[in-house]
Amino acid sequence: MQQDRYRLWPPGPRLVGGVLAAAGVAGVLTVGLAFAGGFLSPGRLTQARLIDTFESLNGVHPGFRRNHAKGVCIAGAFEANGAGTRLSSASVFRSGTTPVTGRFAVAVGRPFVPDSETEVRSLALAFHLPGGEEWRTGMNDIPVFPVRTPAGFEEQLLASRPDPATGKPDPAALKAFFGAHPEAAEAVQRIKARPFSDGFANASYNSLDAFRFVNAAGTSTPVRWSMVAKDPFVPAAPRAAPTGDDRNYLFDALAARIAKGPVRWHLMVTVGQPGDPTGDATQPWPDDREHVDVGTLVIDHIEAEGPGNCRDVNFDPLVLPSGIAPSDDPLLSARSAAYSTSFTRRAGEAKTPSEVQFPDHRSGT
Ligand code: HEM
């Protein structure tokens, strides 16, 4: 029974081919959407320019993602309880189990960064639905995104660039950025105030972008979703500079946790009401919105990035199954386009092993 759940991991040649093909399809869709959004118009910000900006800030690390560069591959399953079917016709929400592969990462563009220098963690997932459908989602452990638009994101990256003289961002550049983007100043306050857990396993991860769930009757509902940790929250302790052995303490702790037994998250869907912003990821929705627990994510396998596993997947947020649709959030098409460019560049480059290496950890073995 357990073995069945892992037929997708490690993926065979068919799955790898499928994943690459899907990435290609996503790329084509992405370009269409990007055109529709004006993202590729001459004189405007392009996905290539955004990825160039990441490279100019972090250096080029061949073979690695241009952001969220340090990560590990995971696998497990999603156990749906059926409660999501009233909102979405996607088969993943029908009572039953869907195989899942994914990736935990830190949101930095340098693949050899010590974990102690990172502040945002991410969980990316691909739900492998029957009939070859997939739902890919990338979530961060912050409550809102700091910027509303791709142009704002580029401005934030440039304003946060460390000054070579001080090693810190230029305060004047930051002040100018936040002056021009009061929504970002407010969002950063929310991000800084969030409870910050001591590891990947007891962190909760949020879609931040809004989407639309469409049910069997054709009713479309604005939603956001979160993976809410079942492991008890333990606040992160302040950390000293890494000594060498503990550069990967977050990833090592995750592997040790999974070796002890499966790690679980509740998939909570937040149901938007008319007037809730769907095109602005800097804005939280009111706390009293309905939260529907639609099932449990169970992760019980972890392995280092390598050929054919999550290393070679593009967790494009617009790879969606029937029953889940994009919202009007301008970040979505920009993400899709930028991830495609990052994926295309890294796919064509020689690979260096990830900093994070450990023996195969599968719970119960
Ligand atoms: C315009 C805004 C954004 C840009 C330009 C951007 C850029 C990137 C890039 C270049 C990557 C690496 C992609 C790859 O090579 O596979 C990435 C990864 C990621 N981003 Fe974004 N991002 C944006 C907004 C967001 C938002 C709003 C979220 C919300 C949760 C997010 C979550 C993630 C996650 C979870 C990953 C890691 C996926 C993985 O593990 O493969 N990003 N981002």
Q: For residues 252 and 76, what is the distance between their CA atoms, to the nearest angstrom?
A: 18
Structure tokens at 9: 């991991």
Q: How confident is the model at residue 15 (pLDDT cuts 50, 70, 90)?
A: very low
| Per-residue pLDDT tens over the stretch 292-308 | 999 999 999 999 999 99
Assigned domain for 15 exists: no
305 falls within a domain: yes
Residue 277: phi and psi, rounded to 5, are -70, 125
Is 13 inside any structural domain? no
- Average pLDDT of the segment spanning 178-182: 97
Ligand 1 mutation target, pool 68, 103, 194, most atoms within 8 A of CB: 68
Counting the structural domains of the chain, the total is 1
Atom 33 of ligand 1, nearest CA residue: 138
Higher pLDDT, 1 or 154: 154
Task: Please work out, in degrees rounded to the nearest 5, the angle formed at the alpha carbon of residue 66 by the alpha carbons of 65 and 69.
Answer: 50
Asked whether the beta carbons of 90 and 267 are under 8 A apart, the reply is: no
Distance 67 CA to ligand 1 centre (A): 6
- What backbone torsions phi and psi does residue 225 show, to the nearest 5 degrees? -135, 160
Domain membership flag for residue 332? yes
Q: CA–CA separation, 46 vs 341, rounded Å?
A: 10
| pLDDT tens profile 227-281 | 999 999 999 987 766 666 789 999 999 999 999 999 999 999 999 999 999 999 9
Q: Examine the residue annotation and report whether 361 is marked as an active-site residue of this protein.
A: no
Cα–Cα distance list, 103 to 57, 124, 174, 239 (Å): 23, 5, 31, 24
What does pTM read for this prediction?
A: 0.89
Q: Tokens representing 239?
A: 């950390």
Q: Give 359's pLDDT tier (boundaries 50, 70, 90).
A: low
The per-residue pLDDT of the chain, averaged, comes to 89
Ligand 1 mean position, distance from CA 114 (Å) = 20
Domain that holds residue 109: 69-143+194-348
Residue 203 DSSP code? -
- pLDDT band, residue 91 (cuts 50/70/90): very high
Distance 68 CA to ligand 1 centre (A): 7
| CA separation for the pair 55, 324 (Å, rounded) | 33
Q: Confidence class of residue 9 from pLDDT cuts 50, 70 and 90?
A: very low
| Residue 274 CA, distance from chain mean position | 26
Q: Is 194 exposed, middle or buried (0-12, 13-18, 19+ CB in 10 A)?
A: middle
Encoded amino acid at 169, one letter? P
Percent of the chain at pLDDT > 70 equals 85
| Model pLDDT, residue 11 | 33
Residue 43 falls within a domain, yes or no?
A: no
Q: What is the ipTM of this complex?
A: 0.97
What's the full length of the chain, in residues?
A: 365
Is the per-residue pLDDT at 172 higher than 70? Answer: yes
The answer to the question of residue 299 being in a domain is yes
Which domain CATH number covers 237?
A: 2.40.180.10
